[in-house]
Structure 1
Amino acid sequence: MKLKVLLIVALSLVIFSCNTNETKVFTESDIQVIPKPETLKLKEGHFKFTENTVFYVTDDIQLRASQILIDRFKTAQGWDLKTVKTQPKSNFIQFKTSENIGKEAYKLIVENDVITIESKGYNGLLYAIQTLRQLLPTAIESQTKVADINWVIPNLEITDKPRFQWRGLMLDVSRHFFQKEYIKKTIDRLAYHKMNTLHLHLVDDQGWRIEIKKYPKLTEVGAFRVDQEDKPWNGRYTPELDEKATYGGFYTQEDIKEIVAYAESRGVTVVPEIEMPAHVTSAIASYPEFSCLEKPVPVPSGGLWPITDIYCAGKESTFEFLEDVLVEVMALFPSKYIHVGGDEATKTNWKTCAHCKKRMKDEKLKSVEELQSYFIKRMERFISSKGRVLIGWDEILEGGLAPGATVMSWRGVKGGLEASEQGHDVVMTPGSHCYFDHYQGPMDTEPKAWGGYSPVSKVYQFDPIVDTMSDEQAKHVLGGQANLWSEYVTTESHSEYMIYPRIAALSEALWSPKPSRNWVNFSSRLENLFKRYEHQNINYAKSAYTITSETEVNDSMNTISVALKNEFPVADIRYVLNESSLDEAAIKYTKPIEINSTSTIKASLFKDNKPVGKVFEKTFNYHKAVGKKVIYNIKYHDSYKGKEASNMVNIVRGTKNFHDGQWQAWLVKDMDLTIDLDELTDVSSVSVGTMESQGPSIYFPTQVEVLLSNDGKTFSSVGKIDRPFESNANIILKDFVIGFDTQKAQFIRVKAKNLGKTERGGATWIFIDEIIVQ
């Protein structure tokens, strides 16, 4: 019987607490396992873990799987549960091997006196143990000893298997280096979520992270860069060749062996990525002879675009070097797949390089795209000769795909569709759903991220199989993967924040049968998982609780309607206006809030009649210019029009997301506009709302000036603010306020001077969201 039918069944189990007379009733809604099992049948009775519970094991694999739960009980309860080789009569966990079950599948049967786990191999055992962990009280995850816990689970029968074989997470350790201990911690948590692949992005322009004994300069030089961590990623200068490089690190081959062995003990395969032909400036800095120009370059400290310092495809020495590197890599990683990147290669140097032109002539190649195809195909033949499979980003399709290659589709699903149509295996990892460097809540409330918006509810919607795929194409979909690029992720704490709980949503999307997936049901189970995260000291994001607003403006009436929501479909949101206190008397939100005068909305999620989580607070200022005519003396850029004619005086403020539709922008040009107040009006201050985000070249104006006029022709300056350029790595919203003695005026002219050029010579933007007249 299907799980969604079983959820309606009113089965229940009465168990008694060991230290009270209270009764707890279990129903299937209390079984909050993530990812959701394929089938679950609740039965009468229960199994109780005690200090006398034992694990009946017959081999080392069973012993290894048992140890995970033994360790949990030792930490959380202080019990030292035993393993035995002779079957007891009661109060034990036993294992059975079955050849009639899938590789990672398991069957879990809980009865009064015995728990039986049936599987074919280690991963099945492991996942059954992880399910047992989630059936137990959340305190099983405690890092310290707890008391008065009744370690009881209901009798049930679970039959479970993954929908997809590739369930992965990519960690970018190149842009920012993470220590071995954090990698192992992440492996533990992947296994907890029944994920089986860790993809390590070991090489990029900003750092080479793996020891290669034949080429020691790859880590001596390529693993370190000049420390510019105080500057925005895309605003860092190009270091001089002799500048001291201090930021970085790398994994020794012994570190890699330890990581791989640890991952194997948790059922996780580690897939190495050695980028080629681009994203390799760190390698070119170490060995310039493998580039076309053979010119010494520094390891970049931050963003680099376009990527022109790439491997020379014309030199035999390049391929000898890469084959030598891959031989050492493959000796360390037993993974079936070897990732070679293959993305974002700017082939400018190939077009003029004598070696590359000769290669194209000799191989009868018509373009540099075909030269890249030659490059990848040649590496694929080498990797295949070693019994491995080449996998790369979807750019490896350009110019023709190597026969045995697998494609990782990141630029949407197009690459996956094309590759699967050609009969190639694919791993789907589209940026829309799987890029964990995107924001997962409102930018104003979140730590710095790359951009985009991929909340946990959107990740949950992900399906690796595209609706337009044929049945034959769908067979080539290995699964899916999340990618956490680390340009802006500098610490372990931040990394955790970006991964959890989105990895839980992805785990269910890749594991559970599609018909059984339901966001309402998943979100109800997510709260239980949050408690487990807290016990595990995981810095998970609570962004799903964050209240957001959607505002509609009625220009003719000068009124606004504010809708409140968070990601949870059944949420108790309450609000107050202005100075009222957010307490049990707060108004329950049921429909959009109508506002027609200056007001502050404060709102919160409530649980047990108390506010929880971050408080939403937003002020809507009905200032003297609201709804008035704006004359643009210098027009805004067509790419950022905001709400056009009404944008500067529509009450609604912009957020740190400059794509939110509330910003107008000027590229290189200054801002110059005039507001017509319709009649002479007393004014005493003008505020100009701006943003600075130096990464995408958005800078504060270097000067803001306000001028007043009675006739719209003759203007007098009433104030000016000069603000010289300052380097800034953060996104900041700032109001430039110019106050003055109260004067009568009908026309207000506001000027904002553009910086014009960045430190690196690029064009700069100024962004303005509202001009407030008081």
Structure 2
Amino acid sequence: MKTIKKFLCISVLWVVACQLPHKEVAFTESDLNVIPRPQSLTLGKGSFRFTKETVFVIDPALMRARRSFLEQFEKASGFRFSVQKVALLTNYVMIDTDTSLPKEGYTLTVNPKEIIIKAGGYNGALYALETLRQLLSKEFESTTPVKTDWAVPAVTITDAPQYAWRGLMLDVSRHFFPKEYILKTLDRMAMLKLNTFHFHLVDNEGWRIEIKKYPKLTEIGAWRVDQEDKLWNERTPNSANAFANPATAPKKYGGFYTQEDIKEIVAYAADRGITVIPEIEMPAHAMSAIAAYPELSCHKRPIGVPSGAVWPITDIYCAGQEETFTFLEDVLTEVMELFPSKYIHIGGDEATHTEWEKCPKCQARMKDHHLRDVHQLQSYFIKRINDFLLSKGRTLVGWDEIMDGGLANNAVVMNWRGIEVGKKALEQGNPVVLTSDCYIDNYQGLPDYEPQANGGYLPLKTLYHYSLEKENLSPALQKNILGTQANLWAEHVGSTEHSEYMLFPRLLALAEISWTTDNLKNWDNFINRTQAFMKRLDVMKVNYARSMYQVVPTVENQKGNIFLKLDCEVPNADIRYALGDTPIEKATKYHQPIALNRSTTFKATVFSGKATNTITTGEVIFHKAIDKKVSYSPLYHKSYQGQGEATLTNIIRGSKNFHDGQWLGWLGDDVTLTLDLEQATEVREVRIGAMDAQASGIYFPVKFMVFLSNDGKNYREVATHNEPCVVRGKATLKDFVLKFSPTEARYIKLTLKNVKTPPKGGDAWLFIDEILVF
């Protein structure tokens, strides 16, 4: 262990300065708002106070670690701290190496005279300083000097991460983010002790890295027709010659990072303890490369760089020609010269192999290597790239489709298709990064009150409760879990402000679940620390989401008794509600679920003297079919069973999150629903609640038919509605209303026609949440 000796080098002036009176700050446990939560933290008595005379004494091996901390602290305080070789008697910060600690571990001891940091390595020293940063006031984040008391509570901290891989993936292909924003994001990752930046540089919609041997990748592949004014799934295909005539060419959208940009980003990240892992997609998600070099595909036809969604992905690299592998090895060689990381991500996901099935060269490759099908050809492709990377001393990382057809056990599997796939990879002996429940491109609040996002739903609380330990894996398999990361895909994220909104505060939860052991995690404690951290984000001018303050309503049907329940992610929030026409200013304080016996609208929000967030509105509709039996033909899909047979008459409406348990789904089928009202009842109107979420392959029925009967055998058609299939970029919920003359009937039969063949291809799901009868 390296140690630093103390010397009594204090002048009379220094003693006098240290004895000047000051008001002692009384810190409490509630002031210890460190994220991620340290493994051990004890509050002591008193505090240490930074002054302009405070000195830093740093082990030369760790000297670089102080740079970003001191630069920011000096901006905020106006001080110019001295870095010395020897410690004084008091008012100093010592940073020393302790090789008995884990490389990313540290201890931090604060008392009124000194701050002592012991670090297992460079990253450990960085993390100790980031903890110290969060123990200081939020004014630390100011870019101009602030007059404040720079006091730190006396604490003793012993800390180290639970997992080695604590990451963020940022998609810069679908939306190009400038270099300056990447650097800012790295700063914010460092605050949270995240150490892996997964740089998604290549996808169908844009090639974002300069490759000197293949200049067309950025001359052509980095640019697409500007359709940024349209929603992602409403954008139209681009022709290969869209920019051929400068006089009539449309506006371009895109950009790329030069190799000098990449070097700067990698060095900046390294200073902050962050490894940058590049992702170069293959064999699919590569239309931007094929647009630049059509000869890399099976069909050799020129294509345009798409501006929006492409599904299925059939334009992929040809696996049957050597030219493809020469190109990829050349590209990866330049990439490896820029990125010193152990890991290189090659994608490997979502390839549709129709071109391989009819390509003579691919078929010849399969015959020569005794490959049974195109899945084994995909495995050949991945293994060949894996061998190349191994020959260069690197390790391949890929999305979990790289397992299809077999995989070398040195490769790292990035699990995104659910924990069962992740378990399979672990059982095969592959290291795994678990990401399936960490997709922060999903909504974090009720979609009607949020900016456009992907169709899923991942609120802060759900992400925080994602555990990498809960899956009952054996200790041997647990050891192969490298960690986790948040994935921010950018199809719907069109600005840096929107990106910040999707990242924060969810990145705080990701930091804690990847750093802190499960036994120390506590939601109430975390949310209190998060609210304190938000004040820090305010100083930093970060556009973070406040969705955790949103009131989330649910309707409960308890054996025919209907209740409206209001909830909020923030514990003990002051929720107020108003029913019917009552204005929100006269709202009632919410204490318990509200019993309802008739249809009503409602409004609800969180109060702090006044309404403090978006007002949530909704409606509960009573109707004649509540709790009545429904027969299904065919039965709903096993993946979308809602609450079972009672789903469509339970009065509980589905949300735009089709995983919320209130939707029944059918894949490609026409559907017949038969409702038994139990006795002859006068009916005049039927409503069918449906969803259209085309990004997820969900479409409204294209035809509705209503039939009535009293005996359940003889039916008479009373209403029909045809719904044209139109392209929609946003998830849409709609009650389709079919009215007819008042008629006595016991049985109601509904026939719903599936679109079968969607306009952009892909799946054709039909989703229904409620049948309402009046």
TM-score (norm 2): 0.84
CA distance in 2, matches of 1:332, 1:360: 34
Secondary structure of 1:33's aligned partner? coil
Q: Look up the SS of the partner of 1:317 in the other structure.
A: helix
Deviations 1:119-171 (A, max 9, x none): 24321221111111111122322345545x32211112211111111111111
Between the aligned partners of 1:279 and 1:124, the Cα distance in structure 2 is 37
Equivalent-residue separation in structure 2 for 1:745 and 1:470 (angstroms): 63
| Structure 2 alignment gaps of length 5 or more | 1-19, 244-249
The one-character-per-residue Cα deviations of 1:614-635 (angstroms, maximum 9, x if unpaired) are 3333222446x56498999x97
Looking at structure 2, the residues matched to 417 and 642 of structure 1 have their Cα atoms a distance apart, in angstroms, of 26
Shift in CA distance, 144/561, structure 1 to aligned 2, threshold 3 Å: farther
**Amino acid aligned to 1:51:** K
Residues 122-141 of structure 1 aligned to structure 2 (within 5 Å): 122-141=122-141
1:109 aligns with 109
Question: Corresponding residue for 2:216?
Answer: 217
Is structure 2 residue 404 aligned with structure 1 residue 402? no
Q: Indicate which of 411, 414, 433 corresponds to 2:417.
A: 411
Identity of counterpart residues, as a percentage? 48
Which piece of structure 1 moves more, 84-93 or 211-220? 84-93
Query: Is the 1:73–1:81 Cα contact (8 Å) retained in structure 2?
Result: no
- 1:479 matched to 2:480? The reply is no
Shift of residue 75 of structure 1? 3.9
**Residues 240 and 291 of structure 2 are in contact (CA less than 8 Å); yes or no, is this contact kept in structure 1?**
no
Q: TM-score, normalised by structure 1?
A: 0.84
Separation of aligned partners in 1, 2:392 and 2:688: 63
Query: Do 1:380 and 1:389's aligned partners in 2 also have CA atoms closer than 8 Å?
Result: yes
Contact 2:577 2:602 in 1 (8 A): yes
Matched-pair contact (CA < 8 Å) for 1:668–1:757: no
Counterpart pick for 1:264 among 259, 270, 282 = 270
After superposition, what is the alpha-carbon deviation per residue over 1:548-587, rounded to whole angstroms, capped at 9, x for unaligned?
12212367x5x41122222234444343433445569733
Q: Which amino acid aligns with 1:493?
A: E
Residues 408 and 706 (structure 1 numbering): CA distance in 2 closer, same or farther, change over 3 Å?
Answer: closer
Q: How does 1:153-552 map to 2 (within 5 A)?
A: 153-244=152-243, 246-429=252-435, 431=436, 433-465=437-469, 467-552=471-556
| 8 Å CA contact retained: 2:294, 2:301 | yes
CA deviations on 1:312-340 (whole Å, 9 max, x unpaired) are 22222111111110111011111111111
SS at match of 2:448: helix
CA-based RMSD: 3.9
Change in 2 beyond 3 A, CA 1:357/1:693: closer
What residue number does 2:45 align with? 44
The count of residues paired between Structure 1 and Structure 2 equals: 740
Q: Which amino acid aligns with 1:515?
A: N
Does the 8 Å contact 2:574/2:589 carry over to 1?
no
In the alignment, the residues of structure 2 paired with residue 756 and residue 380 of structure 1 have an alpha-carbon distance, to the nearest angstrom, of 40
The Cα offsets for residues 341-381 of structure 1, whole Å up to 9 and x where unpaired, read as 11222223333333223333333333333322222222222
Confirm or deny that 1:121 pairs with 2:125: no
Alpha-carbon shift at residue 758 of structure 1 (Å): 4.9
Q: Is the 8 A contact 1:230 1:729 kept in 2?
A: no
Confirm or deny: 8 A CA contact 1:413 1:466 kept in the other structure: no
Distance change in 2, residues 1:159/1:744 (3 Å)? closer
- Secondary structure of 1:434's counterpart equals coil
Which secondary structure does the structure 2 equivalent of 1:134 belong to? helix
Tell me how far apart the structure 2 counterparts of residues 753 and 472 of structure 1 sit (CA, whole Å): 50
Change (3 A) 1:139 1:744: same
The residue matched to 1:167 in structure 2 has which SS? strand
**1:104 and 1:121 in contact (8 A); partners too:** yes
**Deviations for 1:450-481, whole angstroms, at most 9, x for unmatched residues?**
23332222222233346443333333222211
Looking at structure 2, the residues matched to 381 and 749 of structure 1 have their Cα atoms a distance apart, in angstroms, of: 60
Pick the aligned partner of 1:638 from 636, 645, 667: 636
Shift of 1:174: 1.4
Does the aligned pair in 2 maintain the 1:237–1:760 contact within 8 Å? no
More displaced 10-residue stretch of structure 1: 174-183 or 114-123 = 114-123
State the partner residue of 2:14: none
For residues 200 and 646 of structure 1, the distance between their equivalents in structure 2, rounded to whole angstroms, comes to: 46
Please name the residue that 2:566 is paired with. Answer: 564
Distance 1:418 1:689 in 2: 38
Query: Residues of 2 paired with 1:486 and 1:209: CA distance?
Result: 14
Q: Distance in 1 between matches of 2:529 and 2:127?
A: 18
What is the DSSP-based 3-state SS (H/G/I as helix, E as strand, rest coil) of the residue aligned with 1:695?
helix
Give the whole-Å Cα distance in 1 for the aligned partners of 2:726 and 2:366: 48
**Structure 1 runs not aligned, ≥5 long:** 1-17
Give the whole-Å Cα distance in 1 for the aligned partners of 2:643 and 2:477.
44
> In structure 1, what residue type is equivalent to 2:204?
D
Asked if the contact 2:691/2:767 (under 8 Å) is kept, the reply is yes
* SS of aligned partner of 1:345: coil
1:674-685 matches, within 5 Å, as none
- What amino acid does structure 2 have at the position aligned with 1:117? I
Counterpart Cα distance in 1 of 2:280 and 2:768 = 43
The amino acid of 1:497's aligned partner reads Y
- 1:232, distance to aligned residue in structure 2 (A): 4.3
- Give the Cα separation in 2 of the matches to 1:627 and 1:513: 46
Asked if the contact 2:455/2:693 (under 8 Å) is kept, the reply is: no
Q: Does 1:150 align with 2:180?
A: no
Q: Structure 1's 631 and 347: CA in aligned 2 closer, same or farther, altered over 3 A? A: closer
Equivalent position SS for 1:123: helix
Counterpart residue number, 2:27: 26
**Shift in alpha-carbon separation, 1:227–1:767, aligned structure 2, 3 A:** farther
CA deviations on 1:154-206 (whole Å, 9 max, x unpaired) are: 11221111111111111111122211111111101110000001001111122
Matched residue type, 1:34: I
Q: In structure 1, what residue type is equivalent to 2:495? A: T
Aligned mates of 2:616, 2:545 — CA distance in 1: 16
Take 2:483 and 2:669, find their aligned partners in 1: how far apart are those partners? 45
Superimposed CA distance per residue, residues 203-258 of structure 1 (whole angstroms, 9 cap, x where no aligned partner): 11222111111111111221122333444434444322222372222111111111
* Structure 2 match to 1:15: none
Q: For 1:476 and 1:674, locate their aligned partners in 2 and report how far apart those are by CA, in whole Å.
A: 51
Asked whether the 8 Å contact 2:707–2:716 carries over to 1, the reply is no
Which deviates further from its counterpart, 646-655 or 565-574? 646-655
Moved more, 493-502 or 396-405: 396-405
Aligned-pair CA distance for 1:272: 0.4
The alignment partner of 1:118 has SS state of: strand
CA distance 1:454–1:768, change in 2 (3 Å): closer
2: CA distance, partners of 1:52 / 1:582: 54
Specify whether residues 643 and 69 from structure 1 end up closer, same or farther in structure 2 by C-alpha distance, changes over 3 A only. closer
| 1:769 shift after superposition | 5.6
Give the CA deviation at 1:703.
9.5
Q: Which moved more, 1:380-389 or 1:637-646?
A: 637-646
Between stretches 455-464 and 475-484, larger displacement belongs to: 455-464
Equivalent residue, structure 2, for 1:100? 100
Amino acid at match of 1:451: G
Give secondary structure in 1 for the equivalent of 2:657. coil
Counterpart amino acid of residue 563 in structure 1: K
Which is further off, 161-170 or 233-242? Answer: 233-242
Letter in 1 for 2:287: T
